[in-house]
Structure 1
Amino acid sequence: MTTQRFPLPDVGEGLTEAEIVEWRVAVGDTVTVNQVIVEIESAKSLVELPSPWAGTVTALLAEEGTTVDVGTAIIEITTDAPAGAPSGGAPEAPAAAAGEASGEGSGSVLVGYGTGDGAGGGRRRRRGAAPAAEVEAKRPTSTSGTSTSSARLDVDAPAPAPAPAPAPAPAPAGPAIEKPMASVPASSAAGAQSARVLAKPPVRKLAKDLGVDLASVHPTGPGGIVTREDVVAHAEGAAPKALATYPDDDRPWLASGTVSGDGRQTRVPVKSVRKRTAEAMVASAFTAPHVTVFQTVDVTKTMKLVASLKEDRDFADVRVTPLLVAAKAVLLAVNRHPQINASWDEASQEIVYKHYVNLGIAAATPRGLVVPNIKDAHTLDLLGLAKAIATLTSTARAGRTQPADMADGSITITNVGIFGTDTGTPILNPGEAGILAFGAIRKQPWVHKGKIKARWVTQLALSVDHRLVDGELAARYLADVAKVLEDPARGLVWG
């Protein structure tokens, strides 16, 4: 038998850290190769990690909700294979951060790779011994069968050493298993150094149920005993407080934050999607000189086309919206102005012109903004594009967009109109030269064939990297997008 430690892998796009969202296994569980063992949150997506070995889980080395650096061991698995040999058909654990190829087998595999059976990853009931803090908290009873008044209290401080006991029988030969980190609460070390905490068992249970650390509670009972009232008061003082300026409703974005003592502020750590989005937007805004051009368009014919497609049998299983026509217009305009489909390589001082279009669709999700892209979108017809957009958006809103789906974008559309916004000045997705903001479509007075009529009108805003795209190119490109939206039949000519 041998003990293996699985380091957090780089699941793509230069990941440096990730948050442990949910363990799918517990200490003592038996796992197989490629069985999903944990769900992590990377920069912009939730990723399921499979086990590279078959064996028994002996330790979870990172708690749920904690952020772990790539290369840090997160789980310990004991396999049946002798030390140094692969287990369950998988090679040895990678020595460094994940993502390194190690020949055949599973190694530091990711979901969908490797040769194992990939057992189900449903959440399991946690098993294993009681937490160490609970074991240490139980004071040994007197050997004479009598007890003193202090024996009715649980004391965090170590109890007096008991009388010497007979030496235990030698344990069977086997590998030495390091004590699991997950079974030792982070507060235990601090508790050993602090003053002893006195509390009756019912009070300790109440504190555990409320998630209160007894060492942080100010005792008011006789002799320094922590009372039930002390625990309740501490829990109420640490609970989030409703702000006077906001209704007391569900605000999930505050769930991971810390409320100030007066309840007037909540501080939420910057991580995951918000952290990576901020880094990307700052890098883009202060690296690429942005220029934005605008155009107002009569899209009445586009609205008629959308209504017609909704009645078309071929489009019965997909959602047809004006965004679909806008996406097609963007692709047709790229074909007419390929210079806009480029990126600036600062390191090599080169302009990279792309002979493909990976069309990005900015998607607002409960976890934040993500921009996955449709690979080789220029090769799709209108129906194929509709299906790709539907798959892309549903995956993004479920939080399952993979890093590879957001890499190597060409040009992006952000549909600000879905929120009722007329237009905006969008910031470029890093590595791209253009992003189109598609505004709300409203019925407005419009001069049509010499008469003022009520027409469907929208506003477009195109931001470009001025290092790559001159004003003339930006204006001509946006004008062509507008022409397709104004008269979709033009796409038959340009397509």
Structure 2
Amino acid sequence: MTATMIKEFRLPDLGEGLTESEILSWKVAVGDTVTLNQVIAEVETAKAVVELPSPFAGVVAALHEQPGSVVEVGKPIVSFEVDDAGASNGGNANGGGNSTAVEAKAAAPQPETPQPETPQPETAEAGADVTPAKREPNLVGYGAVVEDTGRPVRRARGLVQAAATTVQAKPKPDDVPAERPRSTPPVRKLARDLGIDLQLVSGTGPGGLITREDVQNFAGEAEAASAVPAQPAATGDRETRTPIKGVRKFTASAVVQSAFTAPHVTEFLTIDVTATMELLARLKASKAFEGYKLTPLTIAAKAVLVALRNNPTLNSRWDEARQEIIQFNYVNLGIAAATPRGLTVPNIKDAERLNLRELATALSELTDTARAGKTSPSDLSGGTISITNIGVFGIDAGTPILNPGEAAIVALGAVRKAPWVVDDEIAVRQVMSLSLSFDHRLVDGEQGSRFLADLGAILADPAMVVTMV
């Protein structure tokens, strides 16, 4: 007989003081056996999609929330059935202080028909003398060692506020496994998506395994049994309503706060970028940049970093609470990215330290991660100045809204062939418009204009960089 207990995993604070998250999908089902740090769910905060690793090794006893549910931090989302000894070790391994694990002792089973007993919880005293067990890999964020699985995923960080709580203890015979329909994780997910209870499905696979075809056939039979004559569409069905949540909710709140807190000023400059486009073509053909993704954004980002050296006021922040202006001696360069879940502005940390190849790599990784919805909360915070590339949508200019807490944002327009005066003659050149919005509390008109002029000078003649470094 093996004594077991139920451990609850509460939704942790996934960073930046976020108060809630939406359960996007479960990667496990009730009855699944999970290992420590196995990804069990995908949740969306107001800033990013995050994978949650399991804090325990055991069997999933209950899923307390359904996909699509918005859950407050601290609410239980999943319970695990774990061995009594293993659960105790897990509680010690996580670093202790921030976990509210409550120990419970299982009642000794009787020879005949054991009766359940009410567990008597004991709260571990702080600083108790406990012989440390062998250090094992544990939940990411709890400070224990994490094995490298080779899988490039973003996992939840800063989970020290997660609460794992023991609910009850009960004896379980070793020779009586938990009974559940035999199927694979993809089939279980399909069944959940279709709202089908696998207990009702007969498996035709080896040993009674429930296959995808079994689920689909069951769904078809259920649909046919409940079919009703088609009804004409209601004439009032002319609207689609979508709940405001997740990234869209956060973006809306951020832009409203920015627009009505920071006094925006926007300036425009149209420049001949033929020299920059020619440089870009040469770099792409160069062996030194073979395998690197180079775009006008790459050159413009480098130009912004150079222009900031002579115009540092645009790399600053207004601290209303302390009535201070914070000027940064580093640049966390934000790049506005359109994703299926809405607009996000992840940033490249210490971008001023990167050479052009490193910057190209960072930009490529940043945009790919953002579009996949895998940007971590830490990559979405701490930006100091941003770029939005509206030119990819064929737009020439705009009035971008500042990312909250930043002093400036640059919008890059589309590169177009246009007539241009060169040496008093009309020539066809490649032309781009730059838009600069800045916080007038931090940046005077002169400072903003000088920065925009420097940026334009670099993009019009990349050789100008040598005069600014």
User: CA offsets per residue over residues 351-374 of structure 1, 9 Å max, x none?
Assistant: 111010011111111221110111
Q: Does structure 1 residue 94 correspond to structure 2 residue 124?
A: no
- Paired letter, 1:52: P
Partner of 2:400: 426
Q: CA, structure 1 residues 321+397, in 2 after alignment: closer, same or farther (shift >3 Å)?
A: same
- What CA distance in whole angstroms lies between the structure 1 residues aligned with 2:307 and 2:259? 25
Distance 1:209 1:353, change over 3 A: farther
CA distance in structure 2 between the aligned counterparts of 1:442 and 1:278, rounded to whole angstroms? 32
Tell me the amino acid that sits aligned with residue 379 of structure 1: R
Q: What residue is the counterpart of 1:48 in the other structure?
A: 51
**How far off is 1:106 after superposition?**
8.7
**1:196 counterpart residue number:** none
Cα–Cα, structure 1 residues 208 and 117, in superposed 2: closer, same or farther, change >3 Å? farther
Distance in 2, Cα, partners of 1:119 & 1:208: 42
- Alignment pair present for 1:455 and 2:429: yes
CA distance in 2, matches of 1:315, 1:17: 43
2:65 maps to amino acid: A
| Letter paired with 1:63 | Q
Task: Return the alpha-carbon distance in structure 2 between the equivalents of residues 60 and 119 of structure 1.
Answer: 26
Bigger Rg, which one: 1
Which residue identity is paired with 1:446? Answer: W
Task: Identify the match of residue 19 of structure 1 among 22, 44, 51.
Answer: 22
CA 1:26 to 1:468, structure 2 compared with 1: closer, same or farther past 3 Å? Answer: same
Q: Which residue of 2 aligns with 1:490?
A: 464
After superposition, give the CA deviation of every residue in 1:372-431 in whole Å (9 maximum; x if it has no partner): 111000011111111111111111111111110011101100000010000000000011
Match of 2:364 in 1: 390
TM-score computed with the length of structure 2 as normaliser: 0.74
Deviation at 1:493, TM superposition (A): 2.9
Matches within 5 A, 1:106-145: 109-110=139-140, 114-115=144-145, 117=147
- Separation in 1 of the partners of 2:359 and 2:284? 15
Percent of matched pairs sharing the same residue: 51
* Pair 1:41–1:108, CA change in 2 (3 A): farther
| One-letter amino acid of the structure 1 residue matched with residue 418 of structure 2 | Q
SS at match of 1:435: strand
For residues 451 and 44 of structure 1, the distance between their equivalents in structure 2, rounded to whole angstroms, comes to 51
Q: Does 1:312 align with 2:286?
A: yes
Partner SS, residue 302 of structure 1:
helix
Q: How far 1:116 moved relative to its partner?
A: 5.3
Give 1:85 deviation, angstroms. Answer: 2.3
Match among 237, 244, 248 for residue 263 of structure 1: 237
Evaluate the alpha carbon distance shift between residue 314 and residue 228 of structure 1 in structure 2; reply closer, same or farther with a 3 A threshold. same
Residue aligning to 2:312: 338
- Quote how far apart the aligned CAs of 1:89 are: 6.5
Matched position secondary structure for 2:89 = coil
Q: 1:473 & 1:419 partners in 2: Cα distance? A: 29
Offset of residue 441 of structure 1: 0.8
For structure 1, which segment, 482-491 or 111-120, has the greater mean C-alpha deviation from structure 2 after superposition?
111-120
Report the counterpart of residue 363 of structure 1 in structure 2.
Answer: 337
Which amino acid is 1:461 matched to?
A: S
Q: What are the within-5 Å matches in structure 2 for residues 137-156 of structure 1?
A: none
Q: Where does the alignment leave 5 or more consecutive residues of structure 2 unmatched? A: 102-125, 152-169, 174-194, 196-217
1:145-204 deviation digits (Å, cap 9, x = unpaired)? xxxxxxxxxxxxxxxxxxxxxxxxxxx8469xxxxxxxxxxx9xxxxxxxxxxxxxxxxx
In structure 2, which of residues 350, 353, 358 is the aligned counterpart of residue 379 of structure 1?
353
For residues 492 and 383 of structure 1, do their structure 2 counterparts lie closer, same or farther at Cα, with a shift above 3 Å needed?
A: farther
| CA gap 1:106/1:39 in 2 versus in 1, 3 angstroms | farther
Quick check: 1:444 aligned with 2:418? Answer: yes
Secondary structure, aligned partner of 1:324:
helix
2:295 & 2:86 partners in 1: Cα distance? 59
Tell me by how many angstroms 1:347 deviates. 0.9
For 1:63-78, list aligned pairs within 5 A: 63-78=66-81
Task: Spell out, residue by residue over 1:99-147, the C-alpha distance to the aligned partner (whole angstroms, 9 max, x if none).
Answer: xxx99979994479633558899xxxxxxxxxxxxxxxxxxxxxxxxxx
Cα shift readout 1:214-248 (whole Å, capped 9, x = no counterpart): xxxxxxxxxxxxx9454x65xx68xxx6xxxxxxx
| Higher relative contact order (CA closer than 8 Å, sequence separation 6+) | 2
The answer (yes or no) to whether the contact 1:35–1:118 under 8 Å persists in 2 is no
Count of residue pairs the alignment pairs up: 380
The one-letter amino acid of 1:78's match is: E
Structure 1 residue runs of 5 or longer lacking an equivalent are 97-101, 122-171, 176-186, 188-204, 213-226, 242-259
Relative distance call for 1:358 and 1:300 in structure 2 (3 A) is: same
Q: For residues 426 and 238 of structure 2, what CA distance do their matches in structure 1 show?
A: 53
